[in-house]
Structure 1
């Protein structure tokens, strides 16, 4: 078994001298044993989502399959629920999915309805509750661009940033065109630049007749523009007010140039490889040339970027010398940077991946360090994920040691090599990527060399492990490449995600570049990435010091509903009978409370929006009993980690796709004669209708519409990202005005529902579908609410009312009233994924309309036979001729990952 092979600890003593007993020292086996216990108690889960295509249009459906793994990418047995959050470019939560996991996989869909989605860059985050205990950097993150095919006006944006008199000057040049490509102009506009709830600049202008608009402003406040947006308001082609939001993240600041000595230390007199990484404000690398000189002006090295703004050079720093780098960037700008000052004493670890079969490990130290640490024990530990695959012990007696380590000791993936002293303190660290040709071998072949339109295709799929048939759990998509053009280097794949990006902190540009055989220099560029990218799981300092991570969420084996049964005096009821019902499923189950009156219903299965009834009516004197259901807590997935993959000009990037999407919409739309009857638009509820809130100013109100909250089953979580200028603190369970909270003024906001004050628990028990709107007030100029309730700011929720004249039954009226011994709730249930529709063109069957599909076929559950390793799928081609691209990805029970790409032609 592959897993068993690597779970064994390999102890290879490179240079062995008996270790003398030292006070407070820790033995190598003790250190490895301690780490093993931590790894066993805190297993690391990872999620990967395979999508049917890289981008979409409003009205499409996003199809995906989720893979949940743990140690060495084996299917995780721990969590049985995956959460998928969709955030817009402003980090507002648009939708949240809850998916059941079976055998480490799940599947889902996201309908891109026009009510919830607009043209924008959306950020997909996937995680389990168990993963939320650790660093959110390791959640699955992916950016998906969504275009709008029926948008009457298209734009092409060019952003520039210049420094004038030490003040950043921002210029936006925007070209407006109509649907025919002709200039759209001669329009008045207004614009505003905001970052969070702060207004940075505003103005007015005109779109010229040639469709050109120029907006310029000075960032006099030197504000962080990473999350800033330029909002342009103009009269559209339909004479309706239109807005264009432009992210300013790409010109948020200057290029960041950093220097990374290999092993982490730059030692005087010791030859060291130093990596350079140049990153633009949007998180993408930029090319450079660098000349390194010492403090006397003597040139000592040169360096040129090789890939994604990364490069490296060798330097032996001399005692008493300092060094600087003169860097010229690809955009022509020039800057001088000081290198880290060399340490006069220390030890360092260097690794040279000689080839894919072995690596050369070198330990270097200066004479003073050797003298101080003569005959003391040092350890080298190599681990893959949480598995220690290699451990060695040595002592220092000379300036340099070197030895070869076979890469066969490690699995494919990121390896962390650490040099530690005898106290278990890390001294130097190096990341290395080991690349074996040991992944799951997948292949796809069609039953014909080419096909006609609307003809049947049979694809034969096979999976092998070391040339032997194996049972594979796969997902397969087929797209029309004429409609869906893609950058294969930038693709997120099961290999790039689970082997690379899930192990590293920060944004990885073009992750699939390192896994494509066509890129001949990919392995050397991958080593440059290892020198410059951050990696942190559990550090050895934490292990030795018993500083273990704090756990807030346990792995979920299913949906649980818990609570307490109390009498009307508040005392818990022991041995009380509690019943749970899910009426829509005709499901009933019972349990008995424990000594503290606690009850728990485990591993429940219900879909989103299902009503759940918890009752204690079967108990004696039930009228005096209260069922108190615990609020279901959900982790906050936080904000997007990076906007580096955001597309500035979606219209241009998706031209072919949006043109096809527009044809599809036109071909599927049938106009019928309708009779329009005038109907007064009902007035929405607002604060002016409630005396307690009437002193608030309408000018200060920021409104969240009910449409924005549609589909949200956890309003508390949704408001944390949707409410502008508001921060939620989970420790105090209160909302705060962000600007005051950041300045240390921790006075909570008040929450009102229909004009009456409520606490935060109210938000846990209401669904987004029941909300008409939410008003957010960051100010209360008259102070009537703030002084009365000793708060700062107001959240006011208004629920939907039944249409006038609607009759209500006696039972419905009773349901509205609180009932003793009964609790009704609509918790967030599982989101059910429908089956992908694939048309069948059988002989004699008539079909109407053009078949303009871009995703020709999607199947999230393709399983190869255990004995033969084979299976097949069948589907029909669409109308358009051209090249079809097939992508199949997946894993087996031993954690081997596989991916294959196959193309065929439709004539």
Structure 2
């Protein structure tokens, strides 16, 4: 693999004399370690360009994946991208595997009404290589989905009260309206608060004359409701009972204010910038103002936020003095916060980033520190895009030392600047954003200033870099913005993702604000953001200390199916013949096992739903051999840091899109539920299986089967659906026992038969009747027999009836151990975006209510940097928005937005 190391050393000597310390680490040694770390641990990034910022049930998500490495070059590592949709209960309900070509892949996901309902979902994308870094570089975005299907109720909720103030009353005020917009007045409402399947609170009330219901939360329950849901049931105008759920995890107000000294710490007698950030419990910033007082109560300075709760002030702390910030919030409430402790001596690195061409570095030492370390050597290391692009050696000759660094040393993006001692110990650190305004210059030129409905549109595309045409890969989306309005500052774009959010840890509110027509204020706001965010890449201290974790996962070059062949006595089969067959592709391949009985088929190409057979029958004594397949590895389904992007009131926020969806799919509604009264379907429980008769009559927990609606991967859904169960390292444990050190896993039973965890991935969720969880095994002896702790019974919809089965049926139930037939995850089938051609037929056609007018993930500019797009408008009048994003072969990225009018 070809790698490029962008290593540009620029040594700055503040003194003409050199000073060597016995405990010093040569600067070259630090740089060599950094280069080796980057070469051994190249970073991949992934970005998904979606056609719209949000959707309605029945829509299709069209997307293109851009996979890069190093400084945005198309990745040469991975050839497979995984894309997942995660529901509001943090369960994977749909997953796609896509082949990567030239650093890109594209696909689509249909939001079918049977699998999706209104709520805040997540779309996540990653490669297997990214699993070496936890979830750091995965693409993770909130996708809000509204619904007009079978809908009888619209709601709007507002919360009041401070979750951190014990004297504050907590209230959820809900407005209930019919789909016609008329308030549901004087209606009875049953409500309850649930958390982890348990009811914490419940009550009943009536809507007032305006359709409002107020739900008051008992003060002694405020801790219990965090992370819970408020569920209401009300009778609608159609005499049906409609249920609504409102999340409480970030509902009630509570503000956290943090202070971030420039360089990382406050040093006595050293003037520095002090940044601050005020965050509400919903993760969004809130504007504040206030003052800072010393421990004598004397006011030192005043401050006020400048953007989304962030701001900064110049501050010179005094020795042996502590400070408190008195803060006032927009609602008039107040709070006090202790500032970070003042170091009595130390050294700090400050960066002035205001000059567009030069970065000014300032090293300031307190008097005592300066006297102790006068004429000693210090290092400055700057990392950009994962590479060390600047290194400097400085002699501390004055208490304040400055140096100017040309920004030409860095690529556009986040730069981590670190001050180290000569022993390689990090002393101070600062993030800086360098913007050369050197993105691709992409042009989108419509052939007319305005168009008619269903009129033909031709848009010319041009791509240049420094006025020279470039060949690149782009994706284009055109939407009816009247039906899909959205705040551009809050969008996730290729610029905000690749250049900013993928390199800093923590949530960034309105990331595109900094890239939409940047000016002096936005650049200053971005500098404050850099002072309040963490760095996502390896820190220099970890690099110098050799603390970088080893690699567990290799880059996927294609789909690999691997396993093990052993004799029934457990001994591995060496040089055993293993054959793979995919009948619907008329494909077969053969391989042999190694000394450990392991085998692998690499680079296999097949589509989803293809049946695959692995056979070891062509071996001598094959009847005494057993095949097992390796289980796939799935990343942890942790909470997303982008939760502040979740929409609380979907009905009102997405109203134009939902209203259009109602018209668009009024003739394609999902069939109403049919209630069959002629017979009663018995619920299957563990008592239907003799092997489980020794368990208690009633389970400790029953899983609500609604939690599995829309679930595609049963194993992944169970990892979050099982109450009181912890999922770790591909095993399940009773949470309370696991936390107390008992690492014995739970034993699973399916249809009364013991199974391992890997078997769960083969279960079709729709065929499950019930799931029962037992914290103990009662009188069954299951735990002693299996060295397990706890039992989970998965009961299928058809219980054994004892009917006679044929020999062939028995063979299907008990297949030969040397043959495995299964349906692994293959490459997803990709649909082509439908483009109507209204000039072909003049006959009257149905209303065209599309919100996505055009989607093309395969726009390739030629050697002249040009391409042409042709499509037809829909029936919607108003403003249409065209967005193009993409990348060229050298890793230059770009984005362009144009609008045109349809009359």
Same fold per superposition (TM over 0.5): yes
The equivalences for 1:372-771 within 5 A come to 372-517=372-517, 521-666=521-666, 680=679, 682-693=681-692, 695-696=695-696, 700-703=700-703, 705=705, 708=708, 712-713=712-713, 715-730=714-729, 733-742=730-739, 746=743, 748-764=745-761, 766-768=762-764, 771=767
* CA-CA distance at 1:787 after TM superposition: 6.7
* CA-CA distance at 1:412 after TM superposition: 0.3
Q: 1:276 to 1:741 in 2, by over 3 A?
A: same
The equivalences for 1:158-173 within 5 A come to 158-162=158-162, 166=166, 169-173=169-173
2:194 aligned residue: 194
Q: 1:549 to 1:471 in 2, by over 3 A?
A: same
Q: For the Cα contact (< 8 Å) 2:33–2:544, is it kept in 1?
A: yes
* CA-CA distance at 1:562 after TM superposition: 1.3
Q: Deviations over 1:425-484 (max 9, x none)?
A: 110000000001211111101122221111211111111111111111111000001101
* CA-CA distance at 1:253 after TM superposition: 5.5
- Asked if 1:66 is matched to 2:49, the reply is no
Q: For the Cα contact (< 8 Å) 1:725–1:778, is it kept in 2?
A: no
Distance 1:206 1:200 in 2: 20
- Asked if 1:113 is matched to 2:112, the reply is yes
**What is the TM-score normalised by the length of structure 1?**
0.93
Q: Which moved more, 1:273-282 or 1:15-24?
A: 15-24
Q: For the Cα contact (< 8 Å) 2:265–2:340, is it kept in 1?
A: no
Distance 2:440 2:463 in 1: 7
Q: 1:169 to 1:773 in 2, by over 3 A?
A: farther
Distance 1:522 1:894 in 2: 28
For 1:89, what is the secondary structure of its paired residue?
Answer: coil
* CA-CA distance at 1:500 after TM superposition: 0.4
Q: Deviations over 1:364-392 (max 9, x none)?
A: 00122122223221100111121111100
Distance 2:513 2:164 in 1: 38
Distance 1:671 1:702 in 2: 29
1:362 aligned residue: 362
The equivalences for 1:145-224 within 5 A come to 145-150=144-149, 151-162=151-162, 166=166, 169-197=169-197, 199-208=199-208, 210-223=210-223
Q: 1:318 to 1:669 in 2, by over 3 A?
A: closer
1:846 aligned residue: 843
Q: 1:106 to 1:774 in 2, by over 3 A?
A: farther
Distance 2:161 2:653 in 1: 23
* CA-CA distance at 1:101 after TM superposition: 1.5
Distance 1:236 1:805 in 2: 46
* CA-CA distance at 1:809 after TM superposition: 8.5
Out of 845, 855, 859, which is 1:862 matched to? 859
Q: Which moved more, 1:563-572 or 1:49-58?
A: 563-572
* CA-CA distance at 1:210 after TM superposition: 3.8
2:84 aligned residue: 85
* CA-CA distance at 1:187 after TM superposition: 3.5
Q: For the Cα contact (< 8 Å) 1:76–1:103, is it kept in 2?
A: yes
Distance 1:738 1:323 in 2: 43
- Asked if 1:878 is matched to 2:877, the reply is no
Out of 889, 897, 906, which is 2:902 matched to? 906
Q: For the Cα contact (< 8 Å) 1:116–1:707, is it kept in 2?
A: no
1:140 aligned residue: 139
* CA-CA distance at 1:700 after TM superposition: 4.9
Unaligned runs of 5+ in 2: none
For 2:380, what is the secondary structure of its paired residue?
Answer: strand
Q: For the Cα contact (< 8 Å) 2:160–2:252, is it kept in 1?
A: no
- Asked if 1:887 is matched to 2:883, the reply is yes
Q: For the Cα contact (< 8 Å) 1:370–1:398, is it kept in 2?
A: yes
For 2:370, what is the secondary structure of its paired residue?
Answer: helix
* CA-CA distance at 1:168 after TM superposition: 5.2
Distance 1:691 1:808 in 2: 19
How many residue pairs match? The answer is 899
**What is the TM-score normalised by the length of structure 2?**
0.94
Q: For the Cα contact (< 8 Å) 2:12–2:403, is it kept in 1?
A: no
2:93 aligned residue: 94
Q: For the Cα contact (< 8 Å) 1:477–1:859, is it kept in 2?
A: yes
Distance 1:806 1:857 in 2: 56
For 2:286, what is the secondary structure of its paired residue?
Answer: coil
Distance 2:724 2:886 in 1: 42
Q: For the Cα contact (< 8 Å) 1:710–1:768, is it kept in 2?
A: no
For 1:879, what is the secondary structure of its paired residue?
Answer: coil
Q: 1:621 to 1:174 in 2, by over 3 A?
A: same
Distance 2:638 2:778 in 1: 34
Distance 1:805 1:449 in 2: 74
Q: For the Cα contact (< 8 Å) 2:389–2:409, is it kept in 1?
A: yes
Distance 1:207 1:699 in 2: 38
Distance 1:800 1:269 in 2: 74
Distance 1:812 1:460 in 2: 62
The CA RMSD over aligned residues, in Å, is 2.9
- Asked if 1:824 is matched to 2:821, the reply is yes
Q: Which moved more, 1:615-624 or 1:848-857?
A: 615-624
Q: For the Cα contact (< 8 Å) 1:378–1:395, is it kept in 2?
A: yes
1:124 aligned residue: 123
Q: 1:794 to 1:233 in 2, by over 3 A?
A: farther
Q: Which moved more, 1:256-265 or 1:457-466?
A: 457-466
Distance 2:287 2:233 in 1: 36
Unaligned runs of 5+ in 1: none
Q: Which moved more, 1:893-902 or 1:213-222?
A: 213-222
Q: 1:886 to 1:535 in 2, by over 3 A?
A: same
Q: 1:224 to 1:816 in 2, by over 3 A?
A: same
Q: Which moved more, 1:559-568 or 1:743-752?
A: 743-752
Q: Which moved more, 1:367-376 or 1:309-318?
A: 367-376
1:52 aligned residue: 51
Q: For the Cα contact (< 8 Å) 2:383–2:415, is it kept in 1?
A: yes
Q: Deviations over 1:585-640 (max 9, x none)?
A: 11101112223332111011122222211112222332233222222222224232
